[in-house]
Amino acid sequence: MKVHTAQLAGDGTNADRVFVTDNAVIMLDGASAFEPVDVEPGTYAETLGRNLADELFKAPGVPIAEAVADAIGRTTAKLNLRSGASPSSTVAVLRVRPRAADLYVLGDSAIYYGTGRRTQRLVDNRLSTAATREHAHYLAQLRAGHGYNDAHRGALVRLQRAQRQARNVEGGYWIAEADPAAANRALTATLHRDSIN
């Protein structure tokens, strides 16, 4: 498997992580925290990603949701996390097997796949249905030219508070945080190996 990755340069607070095993690519997009959380989002994404990569390396055929649940559980225990007061991260996994490719997305990070010029996308858009009023207000402020000031930061804090109320609950959206059960709410697809390149 040939893997190419790229990231924008960070200033040490970047919470995005990519891990590669013999048969899988794991991408995590840790959510920026505009209010204090138990641990830094980058530390959370790093710990979760390493736990997940270890699990998929040790058991290459394990169901991905099971591996993610285990990784969330181990990360929660190691970092002493609490639901609602902890950082969160998307999880996107592409795993290849001899005849199949497994795709897994928890949160709104997309996997683009296909052959040649035909591309499809697996993405979980449930976050876009949460905190719509706060999201619209935040965007309206930017469109009106208010820029990155205290009002902008306040809008982001209100948006994250509202999103937190919809995190990992029925009717909300699902993302890696401190509850391993969220892993079972991901979007998945299994494709014939020849359908991707």
Residue 1: pLDDT band with limits 50, 70, 90: low
Residues 133-160: what's their mean pLDDT? Answer: 83
Protein fold of 16-125+173-195: Phosphatase 2c; domain 1 (3.60.40)
Domain boundaries, the chain: 16-125+173-195, 131-165
C-alpha neighbours within 13 Å on the C-beta side of residue 46:
10
Burial of 100 (0-12, 13-18, 19+ CB in 10 A): middle
Within 8 A by CB and 6+ apart from 145, the residues are none
The pair of structure tokens assigned to 8 is 């924008």
Strand partners of residue 20: 25
List strands edge to edge, sheet with 16-20: 16-20, 24-30, 89-96, 100-106, 187-192
For position 59, what pLDDT does the model report?
92
Task: Render pLDDT for 150-194 as a digit per residue (tens, 0 to 9).
Answer: 887 888 888 888 888 888 999 999 999 999 999 999 999 999 988
Q: Is the dihedral of CA 89, 143, 11, 35 positive or negative?
A: negative
For position 123, what pLDDT does the model report?
92
